[in-house]
Structure 1
Amino acid sequence: MSVQEEKRLEELWRRYKKANDSQAREKLIEQYIPLVKYVAGRLAMNLPSSVDVGDLESFGFFGLLDALEKYDAERNIKFETYATTRIRGAIIDGLRSLDWVPRSTRAKARLVESQIYELTNDLGRTPTNEEIATALGLTLDDYFALLSELKGANLFSLDDAAAGEQGGEDLKVLDLVVDQGLLPDQRVIEKESVAELAAAIEQLSEREQLVLALYYHEDLTLKEIGHVLQVSESRVSQIHTKAIMTLRSKLS
């Protein structure tokens, strides 16, 4: 982006945030519409062909509007980074409202996640694919076939919303740290992904590991985790966000 373009955007942001200039807002929307198309297109590559890209873009547009309203430049976060999270979250929320993932598929996804966590805790290390398959009563080929079947279900595995900067969209740990819009296609369902994630989690601090375990495995709320750790809810959110960002950097 040229210096002149950067100055033009800065002026548009100033007019919109300081004076609530509607024309500046429209210009900003025009500027970032391609980002909506990009995020929607990347997500579409990992979803069934029955899901219309136009629908994803429509959902994403509302995420862009939300990002424009809530963005705070003083936090020194690039708008594109902030907006991508909001756009993706809005698309995921939209997909959930369509309820196109069968309940049986969601149940299978939860079973696999639960088994991996249990094996990791019991063994004290990352379980192998063979061990996971055996625990599920499947052959290794059937296990990999199940992972492929669950490709879309990876977006819908938790009832509770993710914390931190995720804007309330429903995500699981793998969605947060392995961003499908920024990393190689179908990374989430590659057979190495779970092992890579578990290994990366082991490198976190004990407190960060505990927060992730309590939130994603034990289904505790941030407030409840705060009581356990004897810290504020906002502090738990900070620990969670730092852990997720650390994992994302290790898996990028």
Structure 2
Amino acid sequence: MKVYKMTEQLWINYKERNIQEAKDELIIHYVALVKIIAGRLYSSYNAHVEFDDLLGYGIIGLIDAIEKFDHKKQIKFETYANIRIRGAIIDQIRHMDWIPRSTRQKYKKVEEAIANAQKKYGNEMTDEHIAKELEISLDEYNKLMGEVTTYSVVSLEERLEDNSNFDIASDSVDFQPEDNFTNKEVKRLLIKAIDNLPEKEQKVMQLYYYSDLTYKEIAEILSISESRVSQIHTKAIAKLKLTLNDLY
């Protein structure tokens, strides 16, 4: 309670009295949140970016969140800041354009194969069905999923950033009233789509997006390999993107 009161006073000092030192203290207080978000994204992008770079991008998002946050509204700052911090990091990653065109093309083929297989087999769809649609062996399919997994995460994050200002794992939407209906509808359909995923895909999505666990931690919980977690995640993301594609 003491920490909450202190933080509340910082917001009052900054927003109502324009004391810049209070803003600096808010940045220091919430930088741990940036580290958590940057750390989770780093587990997906570590082969291509430095953690310190992600941290820097995230701090830019944190400052933006602090400047735009309305402390009088009955919404937790952490929820609001999560959206801004993640958005700032993803936006910078997009501009880096480090993903080869060939990887984007491969992922597009994977998405198309999953869409076709899902139409034919519904929730009974297996990796074998997807491999068949791609006209490759199961071993080749597993290798392909490993190649495109990083882009799959970026792809979904980009889609959410482009079309709605909310975090898939949050209980709240951003404060733009004109977007509120669209955000709620997209979130409702995404949650429904996650609920319709096979049990293991649901579990991976919940542990990754709601529990903030890394692939390694999820692998330990489910007693499977990290690469298998990556494959399951990639397939689940492709299915969720199909839901978004139906909306836009």
Query: TM-score, normalised to structure 2's length?
Result: 0.68
Question: Does the residue aligned with 1:19 lie in a helix, a strand or coil?
Answer: coil
Of 72-81 and 179-188, deviating more is 179-188
Contact 2:149 2:231 in 1 (8 A): no
**What is the alpha-carbon root mean square deviation over aligned residues?**
3.3
Q: Which residue of 2 aligns with 1:234?
A: none
More helix by share: 2
Unaligned runs of 5+ in 1: 168-172, 202-211, 221-252
- Change over 3 Å in CA distance of 1:198–1:4 after alignment to 2: same
Q: Residues 112-142 of structure 1, C-alpha deviation per residue, up to 9 Å, x if partnerless? A: 1232123223334351111011101121122
Q: Which residue of 2 aligns with 1:165?
A: 166
Unaligned runs of 5+ in 2: 168-173, 175-189, 195-204, 219-227
Q: Does 1:15 align with 2:16?
A: no
Contact 2:10 2:23 in 1 (8 A): yes
Report 1:88-237 matches (<5 A): 88-157=86-155, 160=159, 161-166=162-167, 178-179=208-209, 182-185=212-215, 190-193=230-233, 216-218=244-246, 220=248
Q: Residues 58-78 of structure 1, C-alpha deviation per residue, up to 9 Å, x if partnerless? A: 111111112112323455332
Question: Does the residue aligned with 1:165 lie in a helix, a strand or coil?
Answer: coil
Q: Which residue of 1 aligns with 2:180?
A: none
Q: Write the distance in 1 (CA, Å) between the matches of 2:124 and 2:66.
A: 41
Q: Which residue of 1 aligns with 2:74?
A: 76
**Seq. identity, %:** 35
Question: Does the residue aligned with 1:147 lie in a helix, a strand or coil?
Answer: helix
Q: Write the distance in 1 (CA, Å) between the matches of 2:83 and 2:44.
A: 17
What amino acid maps onto 1:192 in structure 2?
I
Q: Residues 219-252 of structure 1, C-alpha deviation per residue, up to 9 Å, x if partnerless? A: 62xxxxxxxxxxxxxxxxxxxxxxxxxxxxxxxx
Contact 2:152 2:234 in 1 (8 A): no
Q: Write the distance in 1 (CA, Å) between the matches of 2:238 and 2:95.
A: 31
